[in-house]
Structure 1
Amino acid sequence: MKVSKSFEAFAKNAPQFHDAWMEVVQKLDKASKLDKKTEELAYLAVMAATRLESGIPFHVKMAKSHGASRDEIISSILVGLPAVGNIVIQALPIALEAYDED
């Protein structure tokens, strides 16, 4: 799956930092007690709430590959509405475009 241009630049231009970051990410992934679909949906909620929109397409595709439906993607993006307000709706078109791609 394709990652964002920012993440590609990170991997290419700072390989030691990228490798260290990915090692931490993999360890955190192994420590998680969530199933992969739930973890990706939760991660999408956090990304929407913190406006980390460049990674949303990648994680939508990951969630979809683990069985997430379009409606679950929508719900994961909008779950933050009560806590952070309508900033999360900016992530919705990005997520749906990624979900609907072949």
Structure 2
Amino acid sequence: MSISNAFQVFLDEAPEHAKAWMSAVHGLDQASALDKKTEELAYLAVLAAQRLTSGIPFHVQSAKRHGASREEIIAAVLIGLPAVGNAVIQSLPVALEAFDAAPNGGL
């Protein structure tokens, strides 16, 4: 899967911090009652609302691998429109490019 350059630098240059961070991420993942597709779609909504587009390709590819459709990706990105306004539309091209580039059936 494609991770952002910034995250790759984090992994390479701060391995102990990255290890601690990934431990927390995995713990939170295990604690979630959501299935992986729903979790990834929800996370995409948060990324879009926060304008954190660098993580979107990775999470779109993961959502697609877990069965998300193109329409579900669009809906996840745009679900924040009422709460945060049209700022979420900046994430739509990034998300769709990642979805269209990811192989069908998973990565």
TM value normalised by structure 2: 0.94
RMSD over aligned Cα atoms: 0.5
Counterpart of 2:63 in structure 1 is: 63
Counterpart of 1:50 in structure 2 is: 50
Using the TM superposition, give the Cα deviation of residue 3 of structure 1 relative to its aligned residue in structure 2, in angstroms: 0.7
Inter-partner Cα distance in structure 2 for 1:55 and 1:3 = 7
Using the TM superposition, give the Cα deviation of residue 45 of structure 1 relative to its aligned residue in structure 2, in angstroms: 0.1
Inter-partner Cα distance in structure 2 for 1:78 and 1:47 = 11
Using the TM superposition, give the Cα deviation of residue 2 of structure 1 relative to its aligned residue in structure 2, in angstroms: 1.9
**Moved runs in structure 1, 4+ residues, more than 4 A?**
none
Inter-partner Cα distance in structure 2 for 1:98 and 1:2 = 9
Gaps of 5+ in 1: none
Counterpart of 1:79 in structure 2 is: 79
Counterpart of 2:37 in structure 1 is: 37
- Residue 67 of structure 2 aligns to which amino acid in structure 1? G
- Residue 33 of structure 1 aligns to which amino acid in structure 2? A
* Secondary structure class of the residue paired with 2:97: helix
* Secondary structure class of the residue paired with 2:49: helix
What are the superposed Cα offsets for residues 17-69 of structure 1, whole Å, 9 maximum, x if unpaired?
00000000000000000000000000000000001100000000000000000
Inter-partner Cα distance in structure 1 for 2:2 and 2:71 = 23
TM value normalised by structure 1: 0.99
What are the superposed Cα offsets for residues 67-95 of structure 1, whole Å, 9 maximum, x if unpaired?
00000000000000000000000000000
Inter-partner Cα distance in structure 1 for 2:27 and 2:88 = 28
Inter-partner Cα distance in structure 2 for 1:84 and 1:18 = 30
* Secondary structure class of the residue paired with 1:41: helix
Identity %: 65
